[in-house]
Amino acid sequence: MLNFNDTEKAFAYKTDQQLKKARFLFGIMQFNGLVKLGTILTPFALKIHLPIKGIIKNTLFEQFVGGTSLEASSAVISMLENQKVDVILDYGVEGGEYDDGRYDAALEEFVKVIRFAATKKNAPFISVKLTGLASTKLLSKLNLNAYEVSEFVSDQRMNEKLALLDVHEKAAWEKLVKRTEKICSIASELGLGIMIDAEETWIQDPIDHIALKMSRKFNQKKSVVYNTLQFYRHDRIAFMQAAYQDSLDHGYQLAVKIVRGAYMEKERARAEKLQYRSPIHINKEAVDKDYNEAIDFLIQHHTTCSVIVASHNENSTLKAVQLSIQENAQDALHFSQLYGMSDNLTFNLASDGYHVSKYLPFGPVEEVIPYLLRRAQENSSVAGQTSRELSLIREECKRRGI
Ligand SMILES: Cc1cc2nc3c(=O)[nH]c(=O)nc-3n(C[C@H](O)[C@H](O)[C@H](O)COP(=O)(O)OP(=O)(O)OC[C@H]3O[C@@H](n4cnc5c(N)ncnc54)[C@H](O)[C@@H]3O)c2cc1C
């Protein structure tokens, strides 16, 4: 019987020492002011070479990151394999304006990650951020509207946008398509899945368009390319239905990773500043409603859809579990949580035989700092409440008597 409160299973992989360390770390993260200060000071301290790398490596890094390189992540990958948990390798390349050499180097890194994943028994997916493979400026130029979200990116509308590019921009776009195609093609050959991350609304249309092109090409027989849908957006239910229709029209498997969305503050701030309707739902209830509706839709269509429920939300996870039992859809369903978070979901799901993975970032300490600071912010106290993570860790410490 699935029980997300079973802390014994959730933390079985942690020694007493490691658990105490996690308790200390999540305890520190409760102090909002400290996290805010750390977020400001850390990048500065690293810039002037203050010796804080070791402290970060022993604390936040150890909790949330697989290792300083792919090879160094092997121990965590094996530990997860022993617990019947898969990994989604996350090469967190930073987006920005660079020359082609940098984007080609990122492509080669992604290929390396795919080849490495193929040597592991429990690494069926890798995640890809398209902003690591092309200019963000170009992507924003290709968004259908600068200030409004679009419910679906038809070929015709994207072609109209592409026709407005100059010759250099057109070449840059073609290169991005080729780079993505190479990644998907190698993954397909090696039997792996590619998850295309969702990013900000003002660059998301061309990302959706590429995901669609790749899905049409590579998902004919099985799910290789997964697009990501953010249900904090008020237009994503309509988008999902249109994407499903496209999969029927072109005879491919619709594969999606569903998330709530990571850029809420940024999206709202931009909408307010530039005076347009925010693409984000007005409250959390509306987001939860759409997220759960997506779970319903995708599981009910499980013979032609593959879905990854990427969430730390217990209600949504439980809902997906119950529906998958009802619809006999367990094989089309996969769950995923970030490494270092929601172990109560991951390890209890795995122990009950569900497909579940940890999203596992890796890389040198200084490169994963932005990721670590986001995790610290996410786990800092909301209105004085003890985080769910800390309560569970404390409960397990109490059970072990440590
Ligand atoms: C494996 C994995 C992959 C991910 N990949 C991506 C990705 O590609 N792109 C991406 O954007 N994010 C991604 N995320 C992050 C994700 O979008 C969420 O930020 C995060 O998982 C928290 O949502 P939740 O479902 O876990 O839980 P919850 O704690 O139930 O929800 C928190 C989320 O609800 C929304 N929310 C909170 N308050 C409000 C409010 N007042 N009004 C409206 N909405 C609100 C926000 O999206 C917030 O992040 C990923 C997460 C995981 C676990």
pLDDT tens, per residue, the chain with 402 residues: 899 999 999 999 999 999 999 999 999 998 888 888 888 888 888 888 888 889 999 999 999 999 999 999 999 999 999 999 999 999 877 788 888 999 999 999 999 999 999 999 999 999 999 999 999 999 999 998 877 777 788 899 999 999 999 999 999 999 999 999 999 999 999 999 999 999 999 999 999 999 999 999 999 999 999 999 999 999 999 999 999 999 999 999 999 999 999 999 999 999 999 999 999 999 999 999 999 999 999 999 999 999 999 999 999 999 999 999 999 999 889 999 999 999 999 999 999 999 999 999 999 898 898 889 888 888 886 656 668 899 999 999 999 999
CA distance 275 to 152: 23
With b meaning 16 or more CB within 10 Å and e meaning fewer, what string describes 100-114? eeebeebbeebeebb
- pLDDT reported for residue 385: 66
Give the separation between CA 335 and CA 311, rounded to whole angstroms: 8
What is the pLDDT, as a whole number, of residue 146? 76
pLDDT in tens, 286-305: 999 999 999 999 999 999 99
Query: Treating both helix axes as pointing N-terminal to C-terminal, what angle do 314-326 and 343-351 enclose, rounded to 10 degrees?
Result: 20
Nearest atom (ligand 1) to Cα of 263: 11
Q: Which two tokens stand for residue 391?
A: 């309560």
Q: Does 311 sit in the ligand 1 pocket, CB within 6 Å?
A: yes
**pLDDT at 166 (0 to 100):** 96
Q: Is 338 in the pocket of ligand 1 (CB under 6 A)?
A: yes
Q: Rounded CA gap, 294 and 12, in Å?
A: 32
Output the CA 165–ligand 1 centroid distance in Å: 34
* Residues 6+ away with beta carbon under 8 Å from 108: none
Does residue 292 have its Cβ closer than 6 Å to ligand 1? no
- Ligand 1 pocket test: pick from 259, 263, 307, 314 the residue with the most ligand atoms within 8 Å of its Cβ: 259
Residue whose CA is at the smallest distance from ligand 1 atom 15:
262
pLDDT tens digits for 44-74?
888 888 888 899 999 999 999 999 999 999 9
Sequence letter at residue 154: S
C-alpha 44 to ligand 1 mean position (Å): 28
Asked whether 197 lines ligand 1 (CB < 6 A), one says yes
Q: Please report which residue ranges of 48-98 form alpha helices under DSSP H.
A: 53-56, 62-64, 74-82
Report pLDDT for 153: 84
Q: How far is the CA of 338 from the centre of ligand 1 (A)?
A: 11
Please name the helix (run of DSSP H) or strand (run of DSSP E) that holds residue 285, with its range, or none. helix 284-300
CA dihedral sign of residues 399, 84, 66, 332: negative
User: 284: Cβ below 6 Å to ligand 1?
Assistant: yes
Query: pTM score, two decimals?
Result: 0.96
d(CA 195, CA 184): 10
> CA 356, CA 346: separation in Å to the nearest integer?
6
Q: Whose CA is nearest to atom 42 of ligand 1?
A: 283
- Do 367 and 340 contact (CB within 8 A), yes or no? no
In short, whether 346's Cβ falls inside 6 Å of ligand 1 is no
Ligand 1: which residue has its CA nearest to atom 2? Answer: 310
| CB distance 220 to 251 below 8 Å | yes
Residue 220 has what DSSP assignment? S
Rounded Cα distance between 235 and 240, Å, is 9
pLDDT score for 322: 96
Q: Which domains does the chain have, with CATH numbers?
A: 68-362 (3.20.20.220)
Residue 311 alpha carbon to ligand 1 centre in Å: 7
With a CB cutoff of 8 Å and minimum separation 6, the contacts of 343 are 10, 11, 13, 337, 392
| Closest approach atom of ligand 1 to CA 127 | 8
CA angle 279/212/142 to nearest 5° reads: 55
Both tokens assigned to 302: 């499980």
